[in-house]
Chains A and B, each alone.
Chain A
Amino acid sequence: MTIQLDFAAVFAEWPMLLTGVTWTLALTTASVLVGTLLGIACAWVRARGFGSALAPAWLAVPVGAYVEVIRNTPFIVQLFFIFFGLPAAGFRLSAESASFLAMVINLGAYATEIIRAGLEATPKGQLEAAQSLALNRWQIFTRVVLPPALKKVWPSMVSQIIIVMLGSSVCGQISTQELSYAADLIQSRNFRSFESFIVVGAMYLLLSIGIRLWLNWLGTNVLFGRR
């Protein structure tokens, strides 16, 4: 038996692949920006050691529950809950906004734990020095504690961002037009299912390698360099 693979039939549908890559990158970028902010806010609440001096204590319980629930349930279930479940409760979303919301909530929970580890590694002397300079809470957090913490955990954040980008492939299941949805669409047109997913898989691989290199470069040269 010979297997004949026809990749040309897949590449002939390149506009769909292009749309897919665009959506994947757009969703990832947007959710990384918002999700990281959410993660910073939640990490501020959850960080221990010095955190009690910074954030109101009663916030710790709901934030802790949020982080544990999200980290211990599958992304696809979170997405289905938001897209299929919430409209039943009167909160209707388009596929794209549901995907965006699910990705933000998901990344937010993981980013919380990553950034928290960075915050908790702050030397006590840094805080005391900042306090002795009469900086207020907000200044201490944004100027003294947060920047070195983010720098410390940047490699873990990069890995998590890649995981979120790969996870966005699940959003195709609710008909968001990202890359894996494009593969599904292409194979439904030309019946080249294996080839479609090989091509799309290779594209994801290139994206993850490229994004990792770019973010590492960004971290050392732009975000946390020359300070």
Chain B
Amino acid sequence: MVDFSLWDIVRNLLLAARWTVLLSVIAFVGGGLVGLLLVTLRLSKLPGTTPVVTAYVQIFQGVPLLVQLFLAYYGLGLLGINTSPWVAAGAGLTLYTSAFLAEIWRGCVESIPRGQWEASASLALNFREQLRYVIAPQALRIAVPPTVGFLVQVIKGTALASVIGFMELTKVGKTIANATFSPFLIFSCVAILYFLLCYPVSLYAKRLERKFHAHR
């Protein structure tokens, strides 16, 4: 048993929370980029893209994130890539995030009236221009609240990276709990820190949602 003062515990957890935040940012930015690519592919209506993107989304939404992370961890190793928890967690969470964001954004684009596509086509804009100048600016506005809302899911999802040995908030909490034998206190602190990270984002998403509805 190791003696930890309350300050030692909080300080170590706060230091670990940095990695939770950083991993969330990586997953969110990476997932956003891949998600954007998926939505564009889906909208392009190139032959074969729709079933591929649909299957991709179905797979990543139908398999637990925990299993996805294990697959990324062992799969990258099989490919001969030296798997650090950073690479595996980053890759796993990026793919997971991309599938959800692609699905959210597809819904937003589909809520744009068909006439907008037709009108822009009749102005002789090509697919890229239609998307860039007519559809995306409108869809983006609808997309912001659910995207911010999903960020909460990503932050909570990073907690699962602890199972492949990523030293983030949950893993460090568990390690300290094992050393100090005071799991009640430590997991309370861990939960409070997650809450402090997620709750402002939830509130912000809710406010955006209300603001958007008020405009209509």
Residues of A within 8 A of B (CB): 1, 3, 68-69, 71-78, 80-81, 84-89, 162, 166-167, 169-170, 172-173, 180, 183, 193-194, 197-198, 200-202, 204-205, 208-209
Closest to A24 in B: B64
Give bound CA distance, A26 to B191, whole Å.
27
Contacts of A71 in B (CB 8 A): 152, 202
Contacts of B194 in A (CB 8 A): 72-74, 77
Please pick, from B59, B64, B191, the residue contacting A81 in the complex, using a CB distance under 8 A.
B191
The answer to whether A68 and B199 touch (CB under 8 A), given A73-B156, A84-B177, is yes
Give bound CA distance, A183 to B79, whole Å.
20
- B162 adjacent to chain A (CB < 8 Å): yes
Interface residues of B in 150-205 (CB under 8 A from A): 152, 156-157, 159-160, 162-163, 170, 173-174, 177, 181-184, 186-188, 190-191, 194-195, 198-199, 202
Q: Is the interface of B mostly helix, strand, loop or mixed?
A: helix
B191 near A88: Cβ-Cβ < 8 Å: no
Contacts of A208 in B (CB 8 A): 61-63
A167 near B159: Cβ-Cβ < 8 Å: no
Give bound CA distance, A3 to B79, whole Å.
8
Closest to B162 in A: A76
Interface centre among B62, B64, B75, B77 (most CB of A within 10 A): B64
- Which candidate, B30-38, B65-73, B118-126, is the interface stretch facing chain A? B65-73
Instruction: Name 28 interchain pairs, CB-CB below 8 A, sorted by A.
Output: A1-B80, A69-B195, A72-B156, A72-B194, A72-B199, A72-B202, A73-B191, A73-B194, A74-B157, A76-B163, A76-B170, A77-B159, A77-B187, A81-B183, A84-B183, A85-B187, A86-B184, A88-B181, A88-B183, A169-B64, A169-B67, A194-B75, A197-B71, A200-B67, A201-B68, A201-B71, A205-B59, A208-B62
Contacts of B78 in A (CB 8 A): 3, 194
Contacts of A68 in B (CB 8 A): 199, 202
A76 near B159: Cβ-Cβ < 8 Å: yes
B71 near A167: Cβ-Cβ < 8 Å: no
Give the number of chain B interface residues (Cβ < 8 Å): 43
- B4 adjacent to chain A (CB < 8 Å): no
Please pick, from B79, B184, B195, the residue contacting A88 in the complex, using a CB distance under 8 A.
B184
Contacts of B127 in A (CB 8 A): none
Minimum distance in angstroms from A196 CB to a CB of chain B:
9
Minimum distance in angstroms from A201 CB to a CB of chain B:
4
Minimum distance in angstroms from B46 CB to a CB of chain A:
26
Give bound CA distance, A206 to B79, whole Å.
26
A76 near B160: Cβ-Cβ < 8 Å: yes
Give bound CA distance, A204 to B64, whole Å.
7
Give bound CA distance, A170 to B67, whole Å.
9
